[in-house]
Amino acid sequence: MGDKRVNNMKKKVIFCDFDGTITANDNIVALIKHFNPDGWRDIVEDVLAERITIRDGVGQMFALLPASMKDQVIRQAIDQAIIRPGFKEFLDFCKKNEIEFYVTSGGIDFFVYPLLEPFDIPHNHIYCNGSDFSGECIRITWPHACQEPCTNDCGMCKTTIVRQFPADQYERIVIGDSVTDFAAAKLVEFVYARAELINKCEELELAHATFDTFYDIVEHLSATINSRTS
Ligand SMILES: [Mg+2]
Ligand SMILES: [Zn+2]
CA quadruple 117, 97, 18, 123: dihedral sign: positive
pLDDT, position 226: 78
Q: Which ligand is nearest to the CA of 158?
A: 2
What CATH class is the domain 11-25+83-130+141-229?
Answer: alpha beta
Residue boundaries of the structural domains of the chain = 11-25+83-130+141-229
pLDDT, position 5: 52
Cα 196 to ligand 1 centroid, rounded to whole Å: 10
Cα 182 to ligand 2 centroid, rounded to whole Å: 11
pLDDT, position 8: 53
Q: Which ligand is nearest to the CA of 106?
A: 1
Residue 93 in contact with residue 221, Cβ under 8 Å?
A: yes
Paired residues of 209 in beta bridges: 192
Question: Longest Cα pair distance anywhere in the chain, in angstroms?
Answer: 61
Cα 207 to ligand 2 centroid, rounded to whole Å: 22
At what angle are helices 27-35 and 54-62 packed, to 10 degrees? 30
In order along its 230 residues, the chain shows pLDDT tens digits of 444 455 557 999 999 999 999 999 999 999 999 999 999 999 999 988 889 998 999 999 999 999 999 999 999 999 999 999 999 999 999 999 999 999 999 999 999 999 999 999 999 999 999 999 999 999 999 999 999 999 989 899 999 999 999 999 999 999 999 988 999 999 999 999 999 999 999 999 999 999 999 999 999 999 988 776 55
Cα 54 to ligand 1 centroid, rounded to whole Å: 12
